[in-house]
Amino acid sequence: MSQDVRSFLPTRRAVVGGLLASAPLLGTVPAWAKGPQTVDVVIIGAGLAGLNAASILEGQGLSVQVVEASDRVGGRLRTGRKDGYQAELGASEVGALYGRVRDACSRLNVGLTNKGGIPTDFLLHVNGVSLRPQDWANAPVNMTRGAERSILPYILQTGLFQRWLPFKDTAAWLDPANLVHDISAAEFMRAKGVSEAAIRLADIDVNGPSLESISALSIFRDLARARAEGFTDPNKPQYGVNNMERSYIVGGSDVLPKAMAAALKTPVRLLSPAVAVDQGDGKVRVQLANGDVLTGKYLVVAAPYSAVRNIRFTPGLPDAQADAIAGALYSATTQFHFRITKPYWEQDGLPPSLWTDLPFERAFALKSPETGATDTLIVWVNGDGATRWDDREVEQQSDLVIAELARVRPSMVGALDYILGYSWGRNPYVRGNKHVFGPGQVKRFATDMGKPVGRIHFAGEHLRRLEHGMESAMETGEAAAMEILEKA
């Protein structure tokens, strides 16, 4: 590393530590005189990772205080409820191999069901033209080339990357031999001869900001784990009907973290953002935004790294952790939920769901598992597409969605009642719904970004190694708890 590059590191680490934050330095805060609350372990973040770590540590006799910046527990498990309607706005599916999640549900009497919304067929709308999937391969608006033309646009991203998957072992993504794939997913596709038209369409479905900004290795990591769970057919989409077994939490996904929090001996402290962490003298002190200070023998940082950026660490964190926090990349996602008030597909004779290259991207018309009636439409916008709209309130965004739907498909005029929506990009404590690695980030810090720093331990889905989804958060919370128990 050159000297001029090294000279930037202290400054970057200082920024991560919060020198630009508004909170004063720990040593000058009058609130220290109030006397901190002392526990064995302080945990920042009341998502599944933090709650699972707290449960394990309390079970081994340690005293634990979980602090949460927002007004609720659950992190990215968020269930919307309005007028009898229930919507999963974040993590929703419990995979067949989610052993930790299923065990927690069993212990806490949280029910699981296999009944979820039943997907319907897509109508495509690309380059200003609506067409059925069976007409895509030979359609004049299909600007892809060669063998790409026969791949439906909503299968392009996962279908191609499944075909190219360089490993099946879910842990192999960190093998040095696979770091060659730690490049932009778009560049990886170009190297494979994929057309720009196909890359543009595949970009709509990527669970990241964009194919340009996400590492191909990040995609391969998640596909290897999905493959182990049964998602093996490159000709099926990543959502809807495929060969993956799923369960759902009865009453809503947020029922599980609420039950986990209720089972703790010490209640979670809500509306308590951490602004500074001081490690020294055999203890860790955590200053909250209201000036209160908690002292513990150990600390678990289980908040998304996009929120951890706002915490000042004294002394500063090592390069790997500091760089990972400063460069953490999260994919924005926004959902809009509508009740279907009339069967618009009967009027125009076209499939109920809609996949498009327009800004609203995907509209899923779902059948009720109880009645079989197609009664719900969920518009789902990912990545940079969602970020572009996040300068306005979700209700204002929904007006744009309704206008676009009506323009593309006149039969939908008057057929939808907006219920609720949610933007993860506008959530100040996450700024997105899923962590991904940017090009080169796996190589730079993925191996070391979750290592303990003295008495500070880390957890959260951004540190997932073998698992994904809800299970990844539970896995990392367990790992942090085990690290502490080995020391305690």
CA proximity to 66, closest of 316, 262, 283: 262
The answer to whether 311 and 22 have CB atoms below 8 angstroms apart is no
The Cα 148–Cα 17 span in angstroms is: 47
Neighbour-count burial of 183, counting CB atoms closer than 10 A to its CB (0-12 exposed, 13-18 middle, 19+ buried): middle
Residues 6+ apart with CB under 8 A from 96: 229, 230, 244, 245, 246, 247
Tokens 């996009």 map to which residue?
Answer: 306
- The sign of the torsion formed by the CA atoms of 140, 143, 146, 147 equals negative
The answer to whether 169 and 177 have CB atoms below 8 angstroms apart is no
Residue 68 known to bind ligand: yes
Residue 69 known to bind ligand: yes
Other Cβ atoms closer than 10 A to 280: 11
Tokens 């995979």 map to which residue?
Answer: 95
Residues 6+ apart with CB under 8 A from 43: 50, 53, 54, 64, 65, 66, 67, 299, 300, 302
Q: What is the DSSP string of 437-456?
A: PPTTHIIIIITTTTS-BTTE
Residue 363 known to bind ligand: no
- DSSP class of 126: E
SS (H, E, C) 365-420: EEECCCCCCEEEEEEEEEHHHHHCCCCCCHHHHHHHHHHHHHHHCHHHCCCEEEEE
The Cα 179–Cα 202 span in angstroms is: 23
Residues 6+ apart with CB under 8 A from 169: 224
Phi, psi dihedrals of residue 44, rounded to the nearest 5° = -95, 115
Tokens 């039969």 map to which residue?
Answer: 411
The Cα 369–Cα 248 span in angstroms is: 12
Return the SS3 of 66. Answer: strand
H helices present in 166-318, as ranges? 185-191, 196-202, 216-228, 255-262, 305-308
Residues annotated within the binding site are 68-69, 461
Q: Which residues are annotated as a binding site for FAD?
A: 68-69, 461
